[in-house]
Amino acid sequence: MLKHIVCFGDSNTHGFRAEDQKRFDENTRWTRLLAKALGDEYLVIEEGLNGRTTSFEDPVREGMCGLNYIHPCLKSHAPVKLLIIMLGTNDTKERFGCSAACIGMGLKRLVAKAQATEDCWAKNTPNILIITPKSIDKRYETKPVLQTMGRECSEKAGMLSEEFKKVAEMMNCHYLDANEIVSEISPVDYIHLTEKGHQELALALAKLIPTIING
C-alpha cells in the first residue's frame, strides 16, 4: 500500500493560473511536483477547489465549505497517512465578515472533524499538516479581483500565521508557513501562486514530509 497524502486546499492547491484564469498543468502544480519528488512510495492526492473556505458557507457559490466535505473526502482516500490543509485565503473575503481569529476558529473546527473521522487514518492515527497560505498582497486592491474579494483581505491574511500556528499547537498538528518559503505571488491579482511559487512549495514539502511520515 502506498502512503496516501491528501492535499486539501483552495485554488492554490487546484493550481489556478491568474494570467488566464485556467489551471496550471501537471508539470507545474505543487501537488504534482511533490508527487514526483517523493517518488513511488507515495500517492499524492489533489483535493483543491477554487473558492474553498475552512468552515464558512459562501452565500454566492455552492459547495465551498471545507467542513462539509472533509469527512467524505478522507473516507474516499483511506487509508490516509497525511492530510495537508492549506486554506484561509477565501475566508478573508469581505462577505464573510470574519476576523483572523474567527478564521482560526474555523480551521480548528475543520481539523477537529478530520481527526474525528473514523476508519480513514492509516493505523487509526490522525496526522495533519497545517500550512498557512501565502498572504495576499495589499496591491490586490488595485486589481479587478477587489470587486469579489472586498476590502481588508490582505490585513486579515497577514494575521493568519499567528492564528494557524496556535491551532496547530492546540490540535497537535504539524505546521508550516508558506510565507517563509514562497518568494513571490502573481502580479496579476496578488493572490495566486506563480509557477516559481509552486516549485518552492513543492521542494519544501518534499523535504518535510518524509520526516513527518517516517520520523
Determine the straight-line distance between the first and last CA of the chain, rounded to whole angstroms: 18
Distance of CA 54 to the CA centre of its chain: 9
The domain defined by 3-214 carries CATH number 2.60.120.620: no
Q: Is 215's pLDDT higher than 90?
A: no
In the structure, what pLDDT confidence band is assigned to residue 25 with cuts at 50, 70 and 90?
very high
pLDDT of residue 14: 98
pLDDT of residue 122: 94
Do 71 and 47 form a contact (C-beta atoms < 8 A)? no
Stated pTM of the model:
0.97
Neighbours of 188 (CB within 10 A): 17
Neighbours of 19 (CB within 10 A): 13
Distance of CA 136 to the CA centre of its chain: 14
Helix (H) or strand (E) holding 135: none
**Per-residue pLDDT reduced to its tens digit, 147-179:** 999 999 999 999 999 999 999 999 999 999 999
**Mean pLDDT across the chain, nearest whole number?**
97
Do 175 and 152 form a contact (C-beta atoms < 8 A)? no
Q: In the chain, what percentage of residues exceed pLDDT 90?
A: 98
**Per-residue pLDDT reduced to its tens digit, 75-120:** 999 999 999 999 999 999 999 999 999 999 999 999 999 999 999 9
pLDDT of residue 168: 98
Nearest to 128 by CA among 100, 168, 97: 168
